[in-house]
């Protein structure tokens, strides 16, 4: 029995897969154990946005069932990540007068409340309001105002918004899968919680999370998220290129990409030859790793170059002392870090999920492709009060009814169970194909 445990579930609904991660946190020791996970293929999204509710709900259901079997808990509530090109950001500012001559927790809470009092179009929804710095009586550059003297407290903040319809569709998918959405979190923010340490975020770092449908970018400095952006080009585009050139099915292209793919030619130690299955009974052909790399490398390089352009937009490219951290499924390509160093001209490392104990299924989730799902759990544990107070306008009647029918549940989260293509990409692929 885990009488002192709090259970949290992160649900990463991606373009190519759905991943559910179940974590148990000891309320006394704060130890986090990953006790279950489930993954299922998904083709109900496009570039991070739901395009087929039924297919997405089915994928969620399959992933959740696997996580339930492994963890021994029945999942009722989840924290979900959101991504897509509909994500937008802007800056805001708020001011409050302090109740005494010393800044108290109450003053900071009132200021944060004021920061959220924004007028935005009905088709937009606020995801996060992240304070950048504080100003006390015209003294700026303050990171923590608590306990300081002053009568006027101000703050600059980064506001992150999403399409209301995109969020509503996520709620609908969860509802069809029999789940209640406890909170919605920006995916790069969640991934950062899993793979970045405090020192990296303090000195300056850019996280590049390359998933199936989107590449999520987040820039941190002084332990604060300073910039975020989402690109609608990612790992699936690499797979599409393999499909187009080799003339094979998507499932085979994905397998070949993972088994034999290299993002940089100089990472190939032995140029082995592998078989490419024929379609419709045709004879299989043989392809060398070096030739496959000529298909993969231009697209990955394009993704990196577009990401670098976004990092430069943050005006912080020269303040990233910790360099670049790449994560997500595409970072598993051999040579992905070497190619990134060449493009970014900064130190690069591959980000693995951290921050939990080595017991349970820790080894299984210590993989870049699970960074977002693990990060959602970490974010939920750190910001549980935010979710408890959040007002979710898209909670369906079915979800509300389930919550009302079980108001005295001791475990609220889980019930114990018995852009256009870059010029040159296809030119390089065409040259290879003609010389085959």
pLDDT reported for residue 435: 53
Sort 176 into a burial class: Cβ within 10 Å, 0-12 / 13-18 / 19+. middle
In the chain, what are the domains?
A: 88-162 (3.30.1490.110), 197-350+419-436 (3.30.420.40)
Q: What percent of the chain has pLDDT over 70?
A: 87
Adjacent-strand bridge partners of 348: 324
Lowest-pLDDT choice from 79-88, 97-106, 172-181, 354-363: 354-363
Instruction: Using the structure block, give the residue that is written with the tokens 């304070």.
Output: 131
Q: What is the pLDDT of residues 197-227, one digit of tens each?
A: 999 999 999 999 999 999 999 999 999 999 9
Adjacent-strand bridge partners of 228: 218
Nearest in space to 326 (alpha carbons), one of 344, 304, 351, 301: 351
pLDDT reported for residue 314: 92
282 band by pLDDT with thresholds 50, 70 and 90: confident
28 band by pLDDT with thresholds 50, 70 and 90: confident
Q: Across all residues in the chain, what is the average pLDDT?
A: 87
Mean predicted confidence (pLDDT) in 120-126? 93
Mean predicted confidence (pLDDT) in 249-254? 93
Q: What percent of the chain has pLDDT over 90?
A: 75
- Please determine, for residue 389, whether its predicted confidence score (pLDDT) is greater than 60: no
Is the pTM higher than 0.95? no
Mean predicted confidence (pLDDT) in 184-205? 96
Mean predicted confidence (pLDDT) in 5-13? 90
Q: What is the DSSP letter of 422?
A: P
- Please determine, for residue 423, whether its predicted confidence score (pLDDT) is greater than 60: no
Q: What is the pLDDT of residues 239-251, one digit of tens each?
A: 999 999 999 999 9
Sort 215 into a burial class: Cβ within 10 Å, 0-12 / 13-18 / 19+. buried
* C-alpha torsion angle, residues 126, 132, 138, 140 (rounded to 10): 180
Select the highest-mean-pLDDT range: 44-53, 377-386, 392-401: 44-53
Mean predicted confidence (pLDDT) in 294-302? 97
> What is the DSSP track for 283-345?
PPEEEEHHHHHHHHHHHHHHHHHHHHHHHHHTT-GGG-TT-EEEESGGGGSBTHHHHHHHHH-
């Amino acid at each position: 029995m885990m009488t002192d445990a709090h259970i949290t579930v992160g649900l990463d609904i991606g373009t190519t897969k759905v991943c559910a991660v179940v974590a148990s946190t000891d309320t006394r020791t704060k130890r986090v154990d990953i006790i279950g996970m489930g993954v299922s293929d998904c083709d109900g999204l496009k570039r991070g946005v739901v395009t087929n509710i039924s297919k997405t709900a089915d994928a969620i259901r399959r992933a959740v069932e696997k996580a339930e079997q492994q963890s021994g808990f029945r999942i009722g509530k989840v924290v979900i990540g959101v991504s897509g090109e509909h994500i937008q950001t802007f800056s805001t500012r708020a001011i409050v007068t302090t109740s005494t001559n010393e800044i108290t927790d109450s003053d900071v809470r009132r200021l944060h409340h004021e920061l959220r009092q924004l007028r935005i179009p009905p088709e937009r929804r606020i995801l996060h309001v992240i304070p950048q710095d504080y100003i006390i009586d015209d003294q700026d550059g303050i990171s923590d105002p608590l306990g300081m003297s002053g009568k006027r407290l101000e703050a600059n903040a980064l506001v992150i918004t999403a399409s209301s319809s995109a969020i509503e569709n996520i709620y609908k998918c969860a509802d069809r899968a029999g789940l209640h959405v406890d909170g919605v979190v920006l995916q790069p923010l969640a991934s950062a919680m899993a793979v970045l340490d405090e020192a990296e975020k303090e000195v300056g770092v850019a996280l590049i999370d390359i998933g199936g449908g989107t590449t999520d970018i987040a820039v941190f400095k002084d332990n604060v998220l300073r910039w975020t952006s989402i690109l609608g080009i990612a790992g699936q585009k690499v797979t599409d290129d393999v499909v187009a050139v080799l003339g094979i099915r998507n499932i085979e292209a994905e397998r070949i990409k993972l088994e034999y793919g290299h993002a940089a030619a100089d990472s190939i130690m032995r140029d082995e030859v592998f078989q490419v299955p024929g379609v419709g009974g045709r004879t299989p052909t043989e392809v060398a790793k070096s030739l496959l790399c000529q298909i993969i490398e231009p697209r990955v390089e394009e993704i990196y170059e577009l990401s670098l352009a976004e990092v430069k937009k943050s005006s912080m490219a020269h303040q990233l002392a910790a360099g670049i951290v790449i994560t997500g499924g595409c970072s598993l390509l051999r040579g992905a870090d070497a190619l990134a160093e060449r493009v970014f001209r900064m130190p690069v490392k591959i980000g693995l999920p951290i921050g939990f104990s080595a017991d349970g299924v820790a080894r299984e989730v210590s993989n870049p492709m699970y960074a977002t799902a693990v990060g959602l759990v970490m974010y939920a544990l750190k910001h549980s009060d935010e979710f408890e107070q959040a007002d979710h306008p898209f909670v369906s009647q079915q979800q509300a009814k389930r919550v009302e029918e079980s108001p005295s549940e001791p475990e609220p989260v889980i019930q114990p169970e018995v852009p256009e293509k870059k010029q040159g990409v296809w030119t390089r692929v065409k040259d290879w194909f003609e010389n085959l």
